[in-house]
């Protein structure tokens, strides 16, 4: 019985020791969304497209079949990424021969409508 009480007190003191030791450490969490997280340059968020040649390589290397390119002869009329399918692997950016595709640090993409996930990009402009 005394042994059990002793073990409980020991566990309590150790627990409190752990809690108090964290009082003096640097905070590692952030007050999101009040504070925006600092993302490194390798972050892959919402896509941005500029001067697309319409070659279609990105569509070929997309593992999720998330890209739709509508062309009128040699002109890209529509470039649509279904963000509901996209897994943000970055293939479309890495394999673009003209480096037209870039992935930004925009990550707040939650929506209650699938239609809003159809990310239509026009030259140099994100809708
Ligand atoms: S990031 Fe990956 S999954 Fe998303 S559109 Fe590009 S290639 Fe497809
Ligand atoms: S984004 Fe790049 S790979 Fe995709 S169609 Fe345009 S130029 Fe080609």
pLDDT band at 123 (very low <50, low <70, confident <90, very high): low
92 HSE (CA, 13 A, CB side): 32
CA of 125 to the centre of ligand 1 (A): 18
Ligand closest to 69 (CA) is 2
Average pLDDT over residues 23-48: 90
Q: 43 alpha carbon to ligand 2 midpoint, in Å?
A: 20
pLDDT tens figures, 50-90: 989 899 999 999 999 999 999 888 788 899 999 999 999 99
Q: What is the pTM of this model?
A: 0.78
Pocket around ligand 2: residues whose beta carbon is below 6 Å from it?
49, 52-58, 69, 96, 98, 100-101
Contact 52, 100 (CB under 8 A): yes
Q: Which residue has the higher pLDDT, 40 or 61?
A: 61
> Which of the listed residues 50, 51, 58, 94 should we mutate to test ligand 2's pocket, taking the one with most ligand atoms within 8 A of CB?
58
pLDDT of res. 98: 93
- Provide the pLDDT for residue 113: 95
Please list, in sequence order, all residues whose beta carbon lies within 8 angstroms of the beta carbon of residue 51, skipping any fewer than 6 positions away.
98, 100, 123, 124
What ranges make up the beta strands (E) of 1-127? 47-49, 67-72, 75-82, 101-103, 118-122, 125-126
| Mean pLDDT value across the chain | 91
Going from the N-terminus, what domains does the chain have, and what CATH number goes with each?
A: 47-126 (3.30.70.3270)
Chain mean position to CA 47? 10
Ligand 1 atom with minimal separation from the 85 CA: 3
């Amino acid at each position: 019985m005394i042994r059990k009480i002793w073990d409980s007190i020991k566990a309590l003191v150790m627990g409190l020791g752990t809690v108090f030791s964290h009082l003096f450490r640097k905070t590692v969490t952030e007050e999101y969304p009040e504070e925006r997280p600092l993302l490194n340059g390798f972050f892959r968020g919402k896509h941005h497209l500029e001067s697309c040649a319409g070659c279609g390589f990105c569509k070929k290397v997309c593992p999720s079949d998330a890209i739709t390119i509508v062309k009128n002869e040699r002109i890209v009329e529509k470039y649509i990424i279904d963000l509901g399918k996209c897994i943000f692997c970055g293939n479309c950016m890495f394999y673009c021969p003209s480096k037209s595709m870039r992935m930004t640090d925009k990550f707040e993409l939650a929506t209650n409508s699938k239609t809003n996930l159809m990310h239509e990009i026009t030259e140099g402009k994100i809708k």
